[in-house]
Homo-oligomer: A and B are copies of this chain.
Amino acid sequence: MHTGDQLCLTAADLTVRTLGPATVPSPLDGSLLDPRDSVHYVAETDRVLLDDTLDMAVRRGLPTRELPAFEPGGPRSRLFFDPPRTRVGVVTCGGLCPGLNNVIRGLVLEACGHYGVASVTGFRNGYRGLNRAGAADAVELTPAAVRGLNDQGGTVLGTSRGGQDPAEMVDTLVARGIDVLFVIGGDGTLRGGQDIADEATRRGLPIAVVGIPKTIDNDIPWIDASFGFQTAFGRAAESIRAAHTEARSTPNGVGLIKLMGRHSGFIAAYASLASEDVDVVLVPEVPLDLDGLLAHLDRVLDRQGHAVVVVAEGAGQELFAGQPQDRDASGNLRLGDVGALLRDRITAAARDGGRDISLRYVDPGYAIRSVPANPFDSVYCQRLAQAAVHAAMAGRTATVVGRWHGRFVHVPIALATASRNQVDPQGDLWLSVLEATGQPFTWSAY
């Protein structure tokens, strides 16, 4: 999110959809909480400010009380759903990301253990598990069944890419009496969840659809950091280290590491900062000029005898202009393979320049996304899951659980999928990268 984009948002954009009035007393009262004390509950009027700087707030020209703000997440004293009569469903979609199992476990423990819902059903293999054929594979998720999931990468529910017919999926929910569906996935998945919520509304069904945004690239807006992101860039830093070890062990060694990041270079940026030895970071947010890059690499090799280049998969797409593009099963445009292109161009340029380089090209993608969550993400996934259950039990729908300035918030799916979180080439994160790598501000001016 860049600064300017926020200014056009109004209170209406930040309002989440609710299924109806919350009239059921929360069961948390009788269990966890001291009856004399209810400050744990979030007041329905509480709001988290959208703008983080005074400057932006002032530019709105609104009185303090009308500043746009998010609804905060957390437990409510009154619920929409009556827990013992509520059936819950869970589905994981799209590519793997560290923490998926932790979120599943957190949802089950919160829904069963604390709210005491009637059941939690796990739909298998993404939205396929919600179509007529796939629903047969659904499994019952109990606290015992999710024990130990904290330490496992991947998703026990399986996953797949691509959407399914919303009507058919709502049929499945109705057939199984599901009141609340949690969808864990990226922007395509969340839009699919919106479609399910819309179809349910159209039929007058009080079914809540709450999303937990999954994006290893950290590119979904209104989320300080997406779950699994820290684990992912930590693991990516290990791959960089290995490539650096190779590069500096050979004369004119070049390590080229392709990392995730279709639209946003956060993993590339953070993993490079966490390493000590990256010379160049290429991200989708900063235009790439090949000649400038090659000239810079030449100087780096002259100076230190080896070089390490980190490239986000979505960087340098302008180099593929004019080439035909197709789409994957999730409907995403297939990117040009910038890693292979750089490997070939760097090698060719070195040969032309009479330098005998030894280039190692590493694409650790699968290794990064399938590791178990680190302790931070393990805690974060659990708390995200708790916030999602609180939201759903209070009747929120077509809503995702976000985190804004350290607070859990409710964000309409429409808003969460309307833009992308990107590295600001003028911001302090990218400045840190420039400082750490010593690479130039722009390639074209080089």
Contacts and interface: CB of A to CB of B under 8 A. Distances in A.
Contacts of A96: 245-246, 249
A131 interface: no
B49 A45 contact: no
Contact of A370 (B39, B234, B245, B428): B245
Interface string A393-430: 00000000000011110000000000000000011110
Chain A at the B interface: SS class: mixed
Contacts of A65: 54, 57-58
A168 interface: no
Contacts of A271: 375
A53 B33 contact: no
Given A64-B60, A233-B375, A40 B382 contact: no
A275 to B, nearest CB: 8
Interface string A251-276: 10000000000000000001101101
Given A49-B51, A366-B362, A405-B405, A435 B113 contact: yes
Counting contact residues on chain A (CB < 8 A from B), the size range is: 35 or more
Contacts of A364: 364, 367
A376 interface: yes
Interface in A162-216: none
B374 A367 contact: no
A37 interface: yes
A158 interface: yes
Contacts of A366: 242-243, 246, 360, 362
Nearest to A270: B379
B40 A428 contact: yes
Interface string A40-53: 10010111110111
Nearest to A429: B383
Q: Which of A33, A40, A128, A160 has the most CB of B within 10 A?
A: A40
Interface string A126-148: 00100000000000000000011
B63 A53 contact: no
A63 B239 CA distance: 51
Nearest to A235: B375
Interface stretch (A67-75, A293-301, A315-323, A343-351): A67-75
Contacts of A53: 46-49, 69, 72, 407
A91 to B, nearest CB: 13
Contacts of A387: 428
Contacts of A243: 366, 370
A152 interface: yes
7 contacts: A54-B64, A148-B148, A154-B245, A154-B248, A271-B375, A273-B378, A273-B379
Identify the 8 closest CB pairs spanning chains A and B, nearest first. Answer: A405-B405, A274-B375, A234-B375, A47-B54, A154-B245, A245-B370, A154-B249, A39-B426
Interface of A: 32-34, 37, 39-40, 43, 45-49, 51-55, 57-58, 60, 62-65, 67, 69, 72-75, 96, 109-110, 113-114, 125, 128, 147-148, 150-155, 158-160, 224, 230, 233-234, 237-239, 241-243, 245-246, 248-251, 270-271, 273-274, 276, 360, 362, 364, 366-367, 370-371, 374-376, 378-379, 382-383, 386-387, 405-408, 426-429, 431-432, 434-436, 438, 440-442, 445
